Amino acid sequence: MIGEPPMDPLHTTQPGMPESEAAAEARRLLDEWAARPVRQHPTSYRDDTAPPAFGTTPPVPQPDHRIVPAWAAGIAVASIGVGAGITGIGCGAWLVLQGLASVSLAGVLMVTLPFAGLAMAATALGGAISKARAAVTKNVYEGPVTHHTEIHNNSTTRGAFFARTRNEIH
């Protein structure tokens, strides 16, 4: 309290126990604690058997202690993949729509002009090739050509006022 000297934890004893008894009790407690066996919990295991000098090593059992079933892990991985893919598609759509939001007539014309020119050149080239092929092609017939046409017309009319005529060509 007020006016008392400060306590020294190294040189204080309990009231009623002389310092020699306190030292003897402390020595007895430390000796008792040191005499107890130390419980050790192994955290790893080392197999000290030497592997064979040649050939394959014997199989080591590796028990399967999975917490999550394989089908659940597969669904989780697939869900992550689908989510990432959809996110990528969404980002791509956002970029495309941002680009379309800033479209002007001059920009559209500048973008489509090369395609229109390419289409015009392809059309002209296709027309030139078509005309060149038509001019080169000629048919050569060898031998006599005869044309024989025979027409048989059977005409029948029925009725007087509302007449119907039927023609059969063979």
Report the pLDDT averaged over residues 94-105: 83
pLDDT of residue 14: 54
Intra-chain end-to-end CA distance of the chain, in Å: 142
70's tokens? 């394989």
81's tokens? 């993949």
CA distance 95 to 89: 10
Specify which residues 157 forms β-bridges with.
165
- The pLDDT tens digits of the residues spanning 111-129 come to 888 889 999 999 999 888 8
Half-sphere exposure in the Cβ direction for 37 (13 Å, CA)? 3
CB 144 within 8 A of CB 129: no
pLDDT of residue 4: 60
CA distance 127 to 133: 10
pLDDT of residue 31: 93
Comparing 104 with 78, the larger pLDDT belongs to: 78
Q: Where are the domains of the chain?
A: 71-102, 105-133
167 DSSP assignment: E
Comparing 55 with 92, the larger pLDDT belongs to: 92
165's tokens? 């005529």
Q: How confident is the model at residue 137 (pLDDT cuts 50, 70, 90)?
A: low
The model's pTM is 0.25
16's tokens? 């009623």
pLDDT of residue 29: 93
Residues 77, 83, 84, CA angle at the centre, nearest 5°?
Answer: 90
Residues 81, 84, 90, CA angle at the centre, nearest 5°?
Answer: 140
pLDDT of residue 11: 62
- The label of the residue with tokens 């015009």 reads 120
- The pLDDT tens digits of the residues spanning 61-93 come to 877 777 888 888 889 999 999 999 999 999 999
Torsion of CA 21, 24, 25, 31, to 10 degrees: 180
Residues 131, 134, 140, CA angle at the centre, nearest 5°?
Answer: 165
CB 151 within 8 A of CB 167: no
* pLDDT above 80 (res 45): no
Q: How confident is the model at residue 25 (pLDDT cuts 50, 70, 90)?
A: very high
Mean pLDDT for the chain overall: 80
- For the chain, how long is the longest CA-to-CA vector? 157
